[in-house]
Amino acid sequence: MELRHLRYFTAVVQWKGYREASRHLHIAQPAISQTVADLEQELGLKLFSRAGRKAALTPEGEVFYVEAVRTLEQAESAINTAKRAARGEIGKLSIGFIGSATYAFLPGLVRSYKVKFPGVKVTLLELSPFDQETALDTGQIDIGFTRALAAEMNRKFESLCLYRDPMLAVLPASRKVKAKCVRVADLANERFVLFYREAASDLYDTVMRMCNDAGFSPLVEYESDRIQTVLSLVEAEQGISIVPASVRNAWTKGVRFYRLQPDNVRIALIAAWNKEVPSVALSAFIELVKMNAAHIRKKAELP
């Protein structure tokens, strides 16, 4: 049985005869008659009682007609839904992000996307760089705003560098530092509060390398997988930290941020997604990110 059988059958009912159905469908009457006859043979039922010139429905034909109309409506709905999905009008999009690194631009991106694609369900998940790699690999998220991927991940994922963040020293606000800049070497005797390496190895290793280049190994007093916790511990005078400049978007109360000398280190924020053919919903979002890349880079610049 094909949808064509149901269309011809319901047309005969709706137009009250084969002749009118033929006229409205622009199909020869014998072809419609034969198709309905084939349908009856396949069902093993008589759908019409052909008394005189009229094609009146049998009782079983009346029941079948109701279900045939419903089936055709469902088929039409399925076709329209598939076409809308192909145009990116509906679907799902899951986005992983680092909160402090994306506050300045991600809400605006999502708003712009939803204006154009209101039928796409967007899910936002705040995840550490490590958790984003896992989520990308398992398909839990479609795209991630994260730090540089591990080397082995680059074979499977595309990435776009959005900006390179300078590093800042963060000290308790209670510490009175008159200078606008802090020398990395002057932090040698400080206790450090750092982002947990397992959650963000790129960030942790960058801080370690900066300290080593300045001639010392930092005394790490505390580690956390939440940047808010790192900053809370600094505010509580439990240590100092070195963080990406974008962290200023997450916290300002009780701490102060200082430019570093030397100021020659940058840490990348990237957008990453699977190299396999992305969904239409994801492709549209990637294009939006690319279109706004220059604006995102500008918003990330320090004053």
* Per-residue model confidence (pLDDT) at position 55: 75
**pLDDT of residue 30 exceeding 60:** yes
* Per-residue model confidence (pLDDT) at position 90: 67
* Per-residue model confidence (pLDDT) at position 168: 96
Q: Mean of the pLDDT values across residues 166-179?
A: 91
CATH of the domain at 116: 3.40.190.10
* Per-residue model confidence (pLDDT) at position 299: 83
Q: Are residues 173 and 258 in the same domain?
A: yes
- Domains identified in the chain, total number: 3
CATH of the domain at 178: 3.40.190.290
Give the SS3 label for residue 182.
Answer: strand
Domain boundary among 67, 86, 105: 86
List pLDDT tens digits, range 193-228.
999 888 888 899 999 999 999 999 999 999 998 888
Identify residue 214 by its one-letter amino acid code: A
Where is average pLDDT lowest: 26-30, 131-135, 168-172, 240-244? Answer: 26-30
Among candidate residues 267, 151, 118, the one with its CA nearest the CA of residue 207: 267
Q: What is the separation of C-alpha 62 from the centre of its chain, rounded to a whole number of angstroms?
A: 48
Q: Mean of the pLDDT values across residues 19-33?
A: 86
* Per-residue model confidence (pLDDT) at position 251: 66
List pLDDT tens digits, range 80-108.
767 766 766 668 999 999 988 999 999 99
Instruction: Say what percent of the chain tops pLDDT 90.
Output: 51
Q: Are residues 152 and 178 in the same domain?
A: no
Q: In which domain, by residue range, is 294 found?
A: 90-161+275-300
Long-range residue pairs from 43-51, CB within 8 A, at least 24 positions apart, any chain: 47/9, 48/12
Write down the mean pLDDT value for the chain. 89
Q: Are residues 102 and 119 in the same domain?
A: yes
Q: Determine the length of the chain.
A: 303
Q: Are residues 140 and 262 in the same domain?
A: no
Q: Which residue has the higher pLDDT, 233 or 87?
A: 233
Among candidate residues 288, 282, 293, the one with its CA nearest the CA of residue 115: 288
Q: Are residues 192 and 210 in the same domain?
A: yes
Evaluate if pTM is beyond 0.75.
no
Q: Mean of the pLDDT values across residues 29-56?
A: 82
Q: Are residues 35 and 77 in the same domain?
A: yes
- The answer to whether 284 touches 117, Cβ cutoff 8 Å, is yes
Q: Mean of the pLDDT values across residues 167-176?
A: 93
Task: Give the Å distances, CA to CA, from 294 to 139, 271, 297.
Answer: 28, 14, 5
Q: Are residues 142 and 192 in the same domain?
A: no
Q: pLDDT confidence of 187, banded at 50, 70, 90?
A: very high
Q: Are residues 48 and 129 in the same domain?
A: no
Domain boundary among 45, 66, 86: 86
